[in-house]
């Protein structure tokens, strides 16, 4: 590894921890989950760190047990996402992560749940 790369790696790591660290960014937590015509529209406050370039949405029928494997959530570049195709008469749990330009992903946000009639 070159000397420049050895010097830049810690800086990149610090920047990554600030925007997509192992902890859940508080501002990523879904602030609304609205059911309309069988679809759930999630909304959250965007992360303002300059290298955050998108979000991943995860959902499932048990708390903290999502249908999407870690790192493979439903992608969005906006602070909203509409989940479609959900079966009725179930409670769904939703969480969001932030991703950055280095391909790193934050921890899961605070979870929200919604009952589908």
What pLDDT sits at residue 16? 33
Give ∠ CA 14-19-25 in degrees, rounded to 5: 130
Low-confidence ranges of the chain (pLDDT < 70): 1-29
What pLDDT sits at residue 38? 79
Q: For the domain that residue 71 is a member of, what is the CATH number?
A: 2.60.40.10
Query: How many folded domains does the chain comprise?
Result: 1
Residue-wise pLDDT for 1-26, tens only, equals 333 333 332 323 333 334 445 444 43
What pLDDT sits at residue 36? 84
Q: Write out the residue range of the structural domain in which residue 15 sits.
A: 3-116
Q: What is the DSSP letter of 27?
A: G
State the greatest distance between any 2 C-alpha atoms of the chain, in Å, as a whole number.
59
What pLDDT sits at residue 32? 78
What is each CA distance from 90 to 50, 60, 77, 113, in whole angstroms? 38, 10, 28, 10
What pLDDT sits at residue 33? 86
Closest CA to 20 of 97, 112, 111, 110: 97
What is each CA distance from 105 to 26, 31, 36, 53, in whole angstroms? 14, 20, 29, 10
For 89, half-sphere exposure in the C-beta direction (CA atoms, 13 angstrom radius) is: 0
């Amino acid at each position: 590894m070159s000397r420049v790369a050895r010097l830049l790696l810690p800086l990149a790591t610090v920047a990554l921890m600030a925007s997509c660290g192992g902890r859940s960014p508080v501002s990523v937590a879904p602030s609304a989950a609205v059911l309309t015509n069988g679809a759930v529209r999630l909304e959250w406050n965007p992360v303002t760190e300059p290298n955050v370039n998108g979000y991943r949405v995860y959902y499932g029928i048990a708390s903290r047990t999502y249908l999407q494997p870690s790192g493979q959530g439903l992608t969005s570049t906006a602070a909203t996402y509409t989940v479609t195709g959900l079966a009725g008469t179930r409670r769904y749990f939703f969480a969001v992560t932030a991703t950055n330009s280095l391909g790193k992903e934050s921890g899961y946000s605070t979870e929200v749940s919604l009952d589908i009639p």
